[in-house]
Each structure stands twice: as structure tokens, then as C-alpha cells.
């Protein structure tokens, strides 16, 4: 855990730093926002703890502008509640009052480190995966983790790191599908000052930030083929070149890559380099879908019920027997992520001493569980008829555009999820959206749906 404490809180700052060090954190002190940014650009960090008197909004804006995703908590000695509210509104995740409470500091560090995100499994199908992960964890061999969306690929990657000889070094994750192609190279390898418009200072990339530890390349199948060549060189030679740089930089890290697509198929299609595939696929861990590991459903549900009761300050309610039957009978197309969201929602909605079936709802507010075959078939037929009537007289381009934009609205602007539903690559989706924006068509922003209709 790399903690950066920003500001001057006199003796309270020293006390907070000592508590963090006692919890295993490596602490760096920055007097100002500018110093903190310099540390992040050159060394990286896992958590910022910022004096509430510092310009937190300015720091948050700078982090967003430079795509630095380090979480930030504010701290201060002020008893004025408005200071805490202002810090949260400015972008801080939490407010920690000072003098520091050792247990609170430990809890914040643990939450950021992901100590509560341990693997939960009971099913033999998952047991085999975990056994193989434990067997190869102490090696430096690259690992390819595949599985459907929501199966916990990043979780198994974190497990590998914690079981490895690099566990005391950084674990750094980058989502290759969430970053535009023209920015991903800089995100991975860093850049020199002036390398491109907006490069206001030298910044290290994820490779250097993870030096000595583990780098997770999430959804690597979405990486541009040109950048794949540079990644292959970095893996083979253990050196990288910053964008705009002239000197190669040595790196020592372990690579874990994930994909929810079949990379063998991507190689045959020409969208993924065969030599890179073999370089990454030294060890392959395939995570089973939740429907393939039914023995884990109730164990995970109980874990999430405890977790979200604690986080929301609510009483811990057991899951009722009938509700447990609903959980076991669901197909869980969204896998563990869908199960977690369902239980989280149930914790908030439950009344009485147990979490009953009335609280087990879909995002649309319907009771969880499969509908009768006749109802499903009837609705499908009615929908198909209505859609067919609506297509008459329209061009293929118009229908495609509406399908893409409606799906994006359904996903609240999440490009990755929309691409998966549509069955196209994230790159194809981005290209289509760029065409629509250029034509003046409203496109949903991340976290939102369109507010204007076509």
C-alpha cells in the first residue's frame, strides 16, 4: 500500500503517518497538491490522504485530466461538519476526522487494499481453479484468465498476486477496453513532457507503476493490434519506451491478462497477434460461470448480505429459505456481479427479521425467478411482431443506429457492457458512436442515458 499524505496537519499528520506505517503502508509526504501530482507521475500511489484545507477540487480535477485513478480521502481537525461535506462534494471518497483513530485508519487502508475482497468458493469446479492458481502463484509466468463477464477474473488475479513472492509490491490494473486506443499507449508505457497535446509533464505508465509487482491487463482482447506489438516487445525484453521518450526503461513485473472472449478465435480472425497470445498463455485459468458452480451461490449470497449490511449500517438479516431457493433457481447471466447486485438490493429493501422473496427483485422491480414458458413465449412473439412493424420503411443504417443507441441507454452509457450485448468489439462501438456524434446525434455519456430522443 503506497499512501501519499498531502498537506500540513502539524502533529496530527505525523501520528496518522505512523499509524499507516504500522499497518504496512509506505508513506510519502507532499506539502502541496503540486507535489502530490509530481509523486503520482513519477512513482504512482494507491491512496491519497489530503488535508481538508488543501484545494481538493483542484486536485480531483487534475487527477481526472491526467487519468490518474488514485482514490482520495480527506482528513482534518476541524469540527465543522461543513468542511467534511465540502470535501466529499469536491470529490473525496471519505472524510477522516483527526486526531486519527487507529482502527479507522486501518479500515480505510484495508478497504483500498481490497483485503475484504477475498475469494469465496465452495463448489468443486471453482476449487480446481483455485488449486491451480495456488500452484503457479509463486512463479513469474504470465497467466491468462478467461471467463464470462462478472465471473471474478480480477478477483483471481488479485488472489494470484497475494499468493506470489511479489505480494508486498504494487498490484496495478488497467482496463484495456475502457481507454481509447490513442490514450492506452500512454496509459501503459507513460509519456515525456510535450510528447503530445496535454502532456504537461513526464508521467510514468502502468508498467513502471507496477514495477516489482503485478500488472493486470483487463480485457486485453480489445487492445489495438499495433499496440499489441509494443506490448510483446515489453514482455520479451522487459523494457518499455515512454511515448516521446528516447531511452528504454527496464521493468520487472508479472503480467496477468484477462478476456471474456476466446483469444484463439481472435487470433484466427486476425484481431489478436498469435505470438502475443502464446506469450501470455503460459498458464490458462478458465473461470466457470456461476451457473456452472452452483455450490458457490449461497456462500456468495451470505457473504454479500453481511458485507452490505455492514456498509449501509443495517442489521444483519439471514436470507430466508424461500429466497435461497430463488437464488439457486436463477440462471445468473451476469454471474457473480449480478448476484452481488441482487443481494445488495435485497439488503436495502428487506423488512422483518429475514431477507425474504419480496426483497429479491430484478433491477426492473420484478420478483427474481424464471417466468413460465408460456409467458416468455407470448411476450417474445408480441415483441417480435411490434419490432417487425416498426422496421418497415426504414434503412438498415437507421435501424442499426437506433439499436446501438438504445442498447447504450439501457447500459447507462457503459460502452463495454453495450458492446457485449450487441456482440461487437468495443472498438467497433466507439467508431459507430464517433460517427453519430459527428452527425449531431445525441449519445449517452457514461453513467447516463440520453435526455433527448432522436
At 339-389, the pLDDT tens digits run: 999 999 999 999 889 999 999 998 888 888 654 333 444 445 554 555 555
What per-residue confidence (pLDDT) applies to 374? Answer: 38
Cβ partners under 8 Å of residue 32, min gap 6: 6, 7, 54
**Phi–psi pair at 246, nearest 5 degrees:** -120, -15
Q: What is the mean pLDDT of the chain?
A: 85
What per-residue confidence (pLDDT) applies to 398? Answer: 82
Handedness of CA 185, 188, 191, 197 (dihedral sign): positive
What per-residue confidence (pLDDT) applies to 390? Answer: 56
Q: Classify domain 124-288 at the CATH superfamily level.
A: P-loop containing nucleotide triphosphate hydrolases (3.40.50.300)
The predicted-structure confidence for 407-437, as pLDDT tens digits, reads as follows 888 777 888 878 878 888 888 888 899 888 8
pLDDT category at 131 given cuts 50, 70, 90 is very high
- Residue 71: count other Cβ atoms within 10 Å of its Cβ: 16
The whole-number average pLDDT for the span 252-275 is: 92
List the domain boundaries for the chain. 2-113, 124-288, 291-359, 386-438
What per-residue confidence (pLDDT) applies to 375? Answer: 46
What per-residue confidence (pLDDT) applies to 11? Answer: 65
Residue 29 DSSP SS3: strand
The predicted-structure confidence for 395-413, as pLDDT tens digits, reads as follows 888 888 888 998 888 777 8
What per-residue confidence (pLDDT) applies to 278? Answer: 94
Contact 39, 45 (CB under 8 A): yes
| 2-113 and 124-288, same CATH topology | yes
Residue with cell 465452495: 122
Report the distance separating Cα 146 and Cα 289, nearest Å: 10
For the ranges 37-41, 49-53, 357-361, 442-446, the one whose mean pLDDT is highest: 357-361
Looking at per-residue confidence, does 117 or 40 come out higher? 40
What per-residue confidence (pLDDT) applies to 425? Answer: 85
In the predicted model, is pLDDT for residue 298 greater than 90? yes
With both helix axes pointing from N to C terminus, report the angle between 415-422 and 426-438 in degrees, rounded to the nearest 10: 110
What per-residue confidence (pLDDT) applies to 342? Answer: 95
For the ranges 8-22, 170-184, 367-381, the one whose mean pLDDT is highest: 170-184
Max Cα distance, the chain (Å): 74
Rg of the chain taking only CA atoms, in angstroms? 24
- Chain centroid offset of residue 410 CA: 20
In the predicted model, is pLDDT for residue 99 greater than 60? yes
Helices then strands, each counted (H, E), the chain: 19, 12
Report the distance separating Cα 256 and Cα 155, nearest Å: 12
What per-residue confidence (pLDDT) applies to 13? Answer: 66
The CATH fold assigned to 291-359 is Helicase, Ruva Protein; domain 3 (1.10.8)
What per-residue confidence (pLDDT) applies to 282? Answer: 93
Report the distance separating Cα 188 and Cα 104, nearest Å: 33
The whole-number average pLDDT for the span 172-192 is: 89
The whole-number average pLDDT for the span 90-94 is: 84
Model pTM?
0.66
Report the distance separating Cα 268 and Cα 208, nearest Å: 32
Give the class (CATH, top level) of 2-113.
alpha beta
Report the distance separating Cα 157 and Cα 145, nearest Å: 8
- Residue 269: count other Cβ atoms within 10 Å of its Cβ: 9
442 torsion bin: left (phi>0), alpha (psi -120 to 50), beta (else) = beta
What per-residue confidence (pLDDT) applies to 29? Answer: 87
Q: What percentage of residues in the chain have a pLDDT greater than 70?
A: 90
What per-residue confidence (pLDDT) applies to 388? Answer: 57
Contact 238, 250 (CB under 8 A): yes
pLDDT category at 9 given cuts 50, 70, 90 is low
Contact 454, 442 (CB under 8 A): yes
Residue with cell 435461497: 324
Residue 184 exposed, middle or buried by CB count within 10 Å (0-12, 13-18, 19+): buried
The CATH fold assigned to 386-438 is Arc Repressor Mutant, subunit A (1.10.10)
The whole-number average pLDDT for the span 29-44 is: 87
Amino acid at each position: 500500500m503506497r499512501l501519499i499524505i498531502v498537506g500540513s496537519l502539524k502533529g496530527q499528520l505525523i501520528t496518522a503517518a505512523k499509524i499507516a506505517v504500522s499497518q504496512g503502508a509506505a508513506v510519502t509526504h507532499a506539502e502541496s497538491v503540486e507535489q502530490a501530482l509530481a509523486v503520482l507521475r513519477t512513482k504512482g500511489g494507491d491512496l491519497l490522504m489530503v488535508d481538508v484545507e488543501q484545494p481538493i477540487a483542484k486536485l480531483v480535477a487534475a487527477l481526472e485530466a491526467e487519468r490518474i485513478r488514485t482514490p482520495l480521502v480527506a482528513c482534518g481537525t476541524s469540527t465543522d461538519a461543513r468542511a467534511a461535506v465540502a470535501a466529499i462534494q469536491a470529490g473525496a471518497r471519505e472524510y477522516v476526522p483527526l486526531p486519527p483513530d487507529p482502527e479507522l485508519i486501518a479500515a480505510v487502508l484495508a478497504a483500498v487494499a481490497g483485503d475484504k475482497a477475498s475469494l469465496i468458493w465452495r463448489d468443486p469446479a471453482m476449487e480446481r481453479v483455485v488449486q491451480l492458481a495456488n500452484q503457479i502463484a509463486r512463479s513469474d509466468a504470465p497467466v491468462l484468465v478467461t471467463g464470462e463477464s462478472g465471473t471474478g477474473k480480477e478477483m483471481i488475479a488479485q488472489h494470484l498476486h497475494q499468493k506470489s513472492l511479489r505480494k508486498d509490491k504494487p498490484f496495478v490494473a488497467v482496463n484495456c477496453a475502457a481507454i481509447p486506443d490513442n490514450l492506452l499507449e500512454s496509459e501503459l508505457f507513460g509519456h515525456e513532457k510535450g510528447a503530445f497535446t496535454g502532456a504537461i509533464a513526464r508521467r510514468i505508465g502502468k508498467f513502471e507503476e507496477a514495477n516489482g509487482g503485478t500488472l493486470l491487463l483487463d480485457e486485453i482482447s480489445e487492445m489495438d493490434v499495433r499496440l499489441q506489438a509494443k506490448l510483446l516487445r515489453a514482455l520479451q525484453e522487459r523494457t518499455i519506451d515512454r511515448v516521446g521518450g528516447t531511452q528504454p526503461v527496464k521493468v520487472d513485473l508479472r503480467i496477468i491478462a484477462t478476456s471474456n472472449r476466446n483469444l484463439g478465435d481472435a487470433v484466427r480472425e486476425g484481431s489478436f497477434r498469435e505470438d502475443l497470445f502464446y506469450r501470455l498463455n503460459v498458464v490458462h485459468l478458465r473461470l466457470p460461470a456461476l451457473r456452472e458452480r452452483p455450490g458457490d451461490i449461497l456462500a456468495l449470497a451470505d457473504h454479500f448480505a453481511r458485507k452490505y449490511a455492514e456498509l449501509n449500517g443495517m442489521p444483519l438479516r439471514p436470507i430466508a429459505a424461500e429466497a435461497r431457493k430463488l437464488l439457486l433457481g436463477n440462471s445468473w447471466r451476469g454471474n457473480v456481479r449480478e448476484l452481488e447486485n441482487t443481494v445488495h438490493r435485497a439488503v436495502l429493501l428487506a423488512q422483518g427479521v429475514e431477507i425474504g422473496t419480496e426483497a429479491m427483485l430484478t433491477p426492473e422491480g420484478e420478483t427474481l425467478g424464471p417466468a413460465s414458458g408460456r409467458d416468455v413465449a407470448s411476450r417474445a412473439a408480441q415483441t417480435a411482431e411490434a419490432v417487425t412493424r416498426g422496421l418497415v420503411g426504414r434503412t438498415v443504417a437507421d435501424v442499426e443506429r437506433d439499436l446501438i443507441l438504445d442498447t447504450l441507454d439501457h447500459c447507462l452509457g457503459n460502452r463495454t457492457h453495450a458492446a457485449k450485448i450487441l456482440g461487437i468489439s468495443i472498438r467497433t462501438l466507439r467508431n459507430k458512436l464517433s460517427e453519430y456524434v459527428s452527425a449531431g446525434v445525441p449519445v449517452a455519456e457514461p453513467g447516463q442515458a440520453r435526455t433527448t430522443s432522436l
